[in-house]
Structures are given as C-alpha cells and as structure tokens.
Amino acid sequence: MRSPRDFLKPLCVGAPDPITEVPFPPSRMIHFFDASNEKMRAKLPDIAAKADIVLGNLEDAVPVDRKVAAREGLVTVGKEIDLGGTQLWTRINALDSPWCIDDLTTLVGEIGDKLDVIMVPKVEGPWDIHYIDRLLAQLEAKAGVKKPILVHAILETAQGVAHVDEIAAASPRMQGMSFGPADLAASRRMKTTRVGGGHPGYLSMSDPTLDADGQIDASVARVTAQQDPWHYSIARMVDACTTNGCLPFYGPFGDIKDVAACEAQFRAAFLLGCVGAWSLHPVQIDIAKKVFSPPVDEVLFAKKVLEAIPDGKGVHMIDGKMQDDATWKQCKVMVDLATMLSEKDPELKAAYGF
Ligand SMILES: CC(=O)SCCNC(=O)CCNC(=O)[C@H](O)C(C)(C)COP(=O)(O)OP(=O)(O)OC[C@H]1O[C@@H](n2cnc3c(N)ncnc32)[C@H](O)[C@@H]1OP(=O)(O)O
Ligand SMILES: O=CC(=O)O
Ligand SMILES: [Mg+2]
C-alpha cells in the first residue's frame, strides 16, 4: 500500500498535482452519445444545454468497426464544440481490450485539457485503478495537461462488487462510480435479460391460507411483491463512495419506452444516496433532472428546519415532527443540494425560494 504522504504527489514528473476534494457540480445525468455518429454529435450543443454531463461512449454499444471513428469523433467534439459549463466525459474501452491504450493516449494527447472524467468499465479491483492512475499521470505530463483528469469506475462485475471499498480508495483521482446492472447480471450469472429495473420473478410471497385439515388452500390467492435485485450492491457502492469522498451514480435503464419504470429505478437510487444516473436517450435526461433534483416540498420543509434551529442542536417539534441534531443534518443535505442545483437552474431556484 502507498504511504498516505505520497497520495497527493503526482505519479509522474510534470503531471498536475492530484486533487484533495472531488468537485461536485450538478451531476444529475451522464448523457451517453456515440461519438462516431455524426447525427448525435450534431445534436450535442442542444443536449449540452439540458444535460449536466455528456459522455462520448467508446465501449459497449459502439460496433468494433466504428471504435476508431468514435475515438476520433470525440476528439472533434473536444476541439470544436462549445459545451458551455457542461462537463465532458468519456467511457473508454475496457482494460483487457486492444483499444484501451489508444483511447487513452489519443484522448489525453489531443483533448486532455477538455476531458473532465474518464469512465473505466469493468473495474475488478484497485489494481485496475492503479494502472490507469500511473498511465494518466505519464500522459498528462507528456501532453502538458494542467488539471488532473479524474477517474470513474463502473461497478459491473462480481469481483468489482467484492472489492468496491478498495476501488473507491485506490486513488485521489477517483471521482466516483456507476452501477452497471447489465454486465453485473452477466458476470454473476443472474438470469435476466433486462438492463436495470425490477423483475417479475424476483418477489416475495405472503404465507398460504390453510384449510380445516391444515393443508394449503390453493384457492386463496396469495399476495406477492416485487423486490429490488440491485439494492444490496447499490447500497454497498454508495457506502464505498461516500466513505472515500467520491460520488455514486446509478447506471443505465435499458427499456427506453418504459419511462415510469425508469423514473422508479432512478428514484430508488436517488433515495439511497446516488447523485445521478445515465441517460441513454434524450427522453431520460428529463427523467433524471426531475428525480435527482430534490422535491420542492422537502426542500421547503428542510429550509424551515434549518431556519428554526440555527445551531442544529437539541430537540424540537416542527409541523408535528420531532427534529434534532440528526434530522438537522438530513435537512442540510437536502438544502445544500438544492442550493448547488439552483446556481445552474433558475427555475429550480425560484421553486426552492432562494
Ligand atoms: C449497458 C450499457 O453499456 S448502456 C451504455 C451503452 N449504450 C448507449 O450508449 C446507447 C445510447 N443510445 C442510443 O444509441 C440510442 O438512443 C438507442 C439505440 C437506444 C435508440 O436510438 P433510436 O432508435 O434512434 O431512438 P429514437 O428513434 O427515439 O431517436 C430519436 C432521435 O434522438 C436521437 N438520439 C437517440 N439517442 C440519442 C443519444 N443518446 N444522444 C443524442 N441523440 C440521441 C436519434 O439520433 C434520433 O434523432 P433524429 O430524430 O434526428 O433521427
Ligand atoms: O455498462 C453498463 C452495464 O450495465 O453493463
Ligand atoms: Mg457494461
């Protein structure tokens, strides 16, 4: 293990100093686009006006014969398109793929100063982050990049989940993690073809009704309720990220037309502590914006609590609810997020009354 004293020294002479705190600008959605697709690239200025983060995807979903075009398309985006204040990320090809090394050398060399975060798929343990960390430092030094490019891991293998805490702690570059239910399902041999969301087969059932002879009365219907197959892993990811000062995100929801289920999946992640989710299609940008902006009534209540208890101490009754030091902190989380989002979004600012 590296000495903590070395943690904030660059891993290559001439590379920028590592950051001490992960920046947290609006991050409600990471909008994926295929940079090899000229039509999608042309839409980017409009998309960037609505989205918090846009991400040029080079990995899964980009066909093998368009890998180079996607990389080059992203270089064009970085050099030629003004995204305003919207962050530019990429998802590189996996570390065990033949494209990864050229993704990194080309992108850092050509648009290293434009890229905020590099998302690394299929991270299995801290060793994957250590590899990327050193290589990025070398490439940053070579290209004269001024601020360190941050790293975001996708949690999408059983190994990755087993090592989630070590991954989150592996480098000061760790910006956060996204939950990847498709690859994770495959890695664990879960029997689902869905990308995120629930499953009608994953449920619990109420007890049976017994007849006079103590036998199960099959004529009486039993209540079932779908359970959340992702709860455990998302909660682990949230704890690992929060413990290490980086940001957890929910990943993709694949049934683009089922906007209600997408909203439910995003909201479950929001309530558990995620700061945002992926949008795969423009329709999911609005869903993420709605879900990951805290509800107006909760923000107004939280403001009321903070105003009523300026020192955040003791026990109080507000609107019939007990408030104390702990609930004050819950309210602070809500108000801090609302304040941060209001700086970007005048409509939210008005609704929250700032
Ligand atoms: C498990 C994982 O790894 S998930 C991450 C990898 N997957 C991705 O990145 C997928 C990204 N999304 C997409 O490729 C597409 O949205 C698809 C394939 C899912 C659906 O595409 P389509 O069938 O073309 O959707 P649809 O017909 O509704 O598109 C409407 C318009 O929005 C555009 N559009 C669709 N998705 C996007 C996007 N992500 N970004 C920008 N524009 C988009 C289309 O080009 C189309 O434009 P047009 O009206 O000018 O023709
Ligand atoms: O990359 C995302 C996933 O779900 O797999
Ligand atoms: Mg994946």
Tell me how far apart the alpha carbons of residues 53 and 73 are, in angstroms, rounded to a whole number: 17
* Cβ < 5 A residues, ion ligand 3: 156, 180, 183
CA of 71 to the centre of ligand 3 (A): 18
- What are the DSSP calls for 247-304, one per residue? EEEE-----TT-HHHHHHHHHHHHHHT--BEEESSHHHHHHHHHHHSPPHHHHHHHHH
Topology given in CATH for the domain delimited by 29-292: TIM Barrel (3.20.20)
Is pTM beyond 0.90 here? Answer: yes
124 is in an annotated binding site: no
Q: Are 121 and 152 in contact (CB under 8 A)?
A: no
Tell me how far apart the alpha carbons of residues 156 and 230 are, in angstroms, rounded to a whole number: 11
Which of 103, 49, 112 is CA-nearest to residue 78? 112
Q: pLDDT tens per residue, the chain (354 residues)?
A: 788 889 999 999 999 999 999 999 999 999 999 999 999 999 999 999 999 999 999 999 999 999 999 999 999 999 999 999 999 999 999 999 999 999 999 999 999 999 999 999 999 999 999 999 999 999 999 999 999 999 999 999 999 999 999 999 999 999 999 999 999 999 999 999 999 999 999 999 999 999 999 999 999 999 999 999 999 999 999 999 999 999 999 999 999 999 999 999 999 999 999 999 999 999 999 999 999 999 999 999 999 999 999 999 999 999 999 999 999 999 999 999 999 999 999 999 999 999
Residues with CB under 6 A from ligand 2: 154, 156, 180-183, 195, 251-252
Tell me how far apart the alpha carbons of residues 339 and 346 are, in angstroms, rounded to a whole number: 11
Question: Reduced to 3 DSSP states, what percent helix, strand and coil does the chain have, rounded to the nearest 5?
Answer: 45, 15, 40
Atom of ligand 2 nearest to the CA of 184: 5
CB atoms closer than 10 angstroms to residue 206: 10
- What are the DSSP calls for 222-243, one per residue? --EEE--TTHHHHHHHHHHHHH
CB atoms closer than 10 angstroms to residue 119: 27
Task: Write the ipTM.
Answer: 0.99
Q: Are 349 and 342 in contact (CB under 8 A)?
A: yes
Closest CA to ligand 2's atom 2:
180
Cross-strand bridge partners of residue 321: 318
Which of 296, 266, 272, 269 is CA-nearest to residue 284? 266
Q: Is the CB of 43 under 6 A from ligand 1?
A: yes
Using the 8-state DSSP alphabet, how is residue 210 labeled?
B
Domain ranges in the chain are: 29-292, 294-353
Atom of ligand 1 nearest to the CA of 251: 4
